Chains A and B, each alone.
Chain A
């Protein structure tokens, strides 16, 4: 495999992971514009523990993910008092605050950036990605996934059927953060240098775009969205800016024409039906 193809695949793997981090909260109706902040926590924590205590990368990833999850759980209760656009704005502010914290945290280099000593192998990143996808896929086959939809759709009815709406919301939010932490840790050990500016609002926005482009109804949607987002700019020739122009036009057109995203449960159902009728 060429170095270029490998680099693209690695970028793709990380994007696919973080797309799932945006997807879980969105499945419960939470627009998390602070995903990049949780990625930053995962990245810095993993980098710090592997640098300082010489832990293996796998343990670094686990600590990074755990730290992001913990911060999310602690903040979820006050944060999730808000909903809809208020929650989107609150998470946006949270992302900015987390970024500002790392910008001032001397122990990880503050604004100057932080070098990550341990570099993850291609296979480690791929294995981690596959594990995350497998777990999210399993989760999507459970009642939990059904309740995410129920809570997004109608929290009052969900509550009357005995579902602990707050618990489901907190879980969706913090599991999203956990996966973002994994994605951030992978990023740290792939690119080997961390700067707080890497984890800005634009990154959060892009992650949300992966999910909404692909569609929030299935696990496959965000994966496809991440593929599309990663590969489209590579496929478009010309300057980087032109790529983004085309890309922006694509976003606008897609949201206007197919707001539910590229992949919907209805589409999958039709595809399976066709396969069955053929077979």
Chain B
């Protein structure tokens, strides 16, 4: 018997007040992949993330992690089964430092009662603080470690949000538009950072609008539109797909045209 996929979405549907946002959506993410989930605005990509992380319950279907059904699992428990995520609209503790924000991501690995009540800030070298500092240093963000995040530039905050998710040592990392709002230099740094994260053994599932970024980063893409899967394969394959050209790239061209006007 082959190993089950790391994540399996099995005929998942989601309705909001009678309105179908996701319809009978199925796809798999295998361990070690770098998979992108793409589609026009409003296609339901963010909803997929919210269903995986358990922010919303499903209307129908199942979600499995390594063959284990997590459909009914409380959202809080899912990170302990290897799923963590970043947020499109950066959700950090604004008045806390970069270190403190990243430390939130350590919770799944430091959740015992004694972890909770250790006065780590009185310790000369707390392993948690050291780990957070190292992570920041690896991401070339060491100089921001002690700064409250509301004083930091957008690109840096975005990457602190990402580091927090990585700190949970997930098997599967959900990245919600990681490159949105970054300048070309920051995008390049992000690419390297994500490749390094992947090399450390973490599978990536990315929602992203920057096709160039997706093309470089991901090995495979799943295209959804109006909550349904319309294509799946390598970037080159889906690019040639007629349905994708019509639904997605057509829409993209239309958007670009309207943006330009």
A residues whose Cβ falls under 8 Å from a Cβ of B: 138-144, 146-147, 149-150, 153-154, 156-165, 217, 264-266, 269
Closest CB-CB distance, A30 to chain B, in whole Å?
17
For A146, list chain B residues within 8 Å (CB). 96, 100, 103-104
Among B103, B148, B164, which residue has its beta carbon within 8 angstroms of that of A143?
B103
Q: How far is the CA of A3 from the CA of B55 in the complex (A)?
A: 60
For B85, list chain A residues within 8 Å (CB). 160
For B108, list chain A residues within 8 Å (CB). 161-162
- The stretch of B60-68, B86-94, B180-188, B249-257 in contact with A is B86-94
Residue B53 CB within 8 A of the other chain: yes
Instruction: Find out whether the CB atom of A163 lies under 8 angstroms from the CB atom of B75.
Output: no
For A158, list chain B residues within 8 Å (CB). 104
Instruction: Find out whether the CB atom of A141 lies under 8 angstroms from the CB atom of B80.
Output: no
Among B78, B96, B117, which residue has its beta carbon within 8 angstroms of that of A142?
B117
For B225, list chain A residues within 8 Å (CB). none
Closest CB-CB distance, A269 to chain B, in whole Å?
7
For B119, list chain A residues within 8 Å (CB). 138-139, 141-142
Per-residue A-contact encoding for B117-154, CB less than 8 Å = 1, 0 else: 11111100000100000000000000000101000000
Can you name the residue of chain A whose Cβ is closest to the Cβ of B148? A266
Q: How far is the CA of A264 from the CA of B118 in the complex (A)?
A: 23
Closest CB-CB distance, A174 to chain B, in whole Å?
15
A-B contact pairs, 19 of them (CB 8 A): A142-B116, A142-B120, A143-B107, A143-B115, A143-B120, A143-B128, A153-B93, A154-B91, A157-B87, A157-B104, A159-B75, A160-B78, A160-B79, A161-B79, A162-B76, A162-B77, A264-B95, A265-B148, A269-B146
Residue B39 CB within 8 A of the other chain: no
Instruction: Find out whether the CB atom of A150 lies under 8 angstroms from the CB atom of B104.
Output: yes
Residue B111 CB within 8 A of the other chain: yes
B residues whose Cβ falls under 8 Å from a Cβ of A: 53-55, 75-80, 84-85, 87, 91, 93-96, 100, 103-105, 107-108, 110-111, 115-122, 128, 146, 148, 164, 168
Instruction: Find out whether the CB atom of B96 lies under 8 angstroms from the CB atom of A149.
Output: yes
For A141, list chain B residues within 8 Å (CB). 119-122
Q: How far is the CA of A141 from the CA of B80 in the complex (A)?
A: 25
A-B residue pairs, 10 tightest by C-beta? A141-B119, A141-B121, A162-B79, A153-B93, A162-B108, A157-B91, A159-B76, A138-B119, A141-B122, A144-B116
Closest CB-CB distance, B126 to chain A, in whole Å?
10
Instruction: Find out whether the CB atom of B93 lies under 8 angstroms from the CB atom of A160.
Output: no
Closest CB-CB distance, B220 to chain A, in whole Å?
25
Q: How far is the CA of A265 from the CA of B84 in the complex (A)?
A: 29
For A264, list chain B residues within 8 Å (CB). 95
Q: How far is the CA of A144 from the CA of B117 in the complex (A)?
A: 6
Instruction: Find out whether the CB atom of A142 lies under 8 angstroms from the CB atom of B87.
Output: no
Q: How far is the CA of A156 from the CA of B110 in the complex (A)?
A: 19
Instruction: Find out whether the CB atom of A143 lies under 8 angstroms from the CB atom of B105.
Output: no
Instruction: Find out whether the CB atom of B93 lies under 8 angstroms from the CB atom of A150.
Output: yes
Q: How far is the CA of A264 from the CA of B95 in the complex (A)?
A: 9
Besides the known contacts A158-B104, A265-B96, 5 further A-B residue pairs in the complex with CB atoms under 8 A apart: A142-B119, A160-B78, A160-B84, A160-B85, A165-B76
Can you name the residue of chain B whose Cβ is closest to the Cβ of A156? B55
Can you name the residue of chain B whose Cβ is closest to the Cβ of A168? B116
Instruction: Find out whether the CB atom of A162 lies under 8 angstroms from the CB atom of B117.
Output: no
Closest CB-CB distance, A272 to chain B, in whole Å?
10
For B107, list chain A residues within 8 Å (CB). 143, 147, 161-163
Closest CB-CB distance, B86 to chain A, in whole Å?
10
Among A139, A153, A162, A165, which residue has its beta carbon within 8 angstroms of that of B94?
A153
Instruction: Find out whether the CB atom of A161 lies under 8 angstroms from the CB atom of B168.
Output: yes
Q: How far is the CA of A153 from the CA of B168 in the complex (A)?
A: 19
Q: How far is the CA of A161 from the CA of B76 in the complex (A)?
A: 7
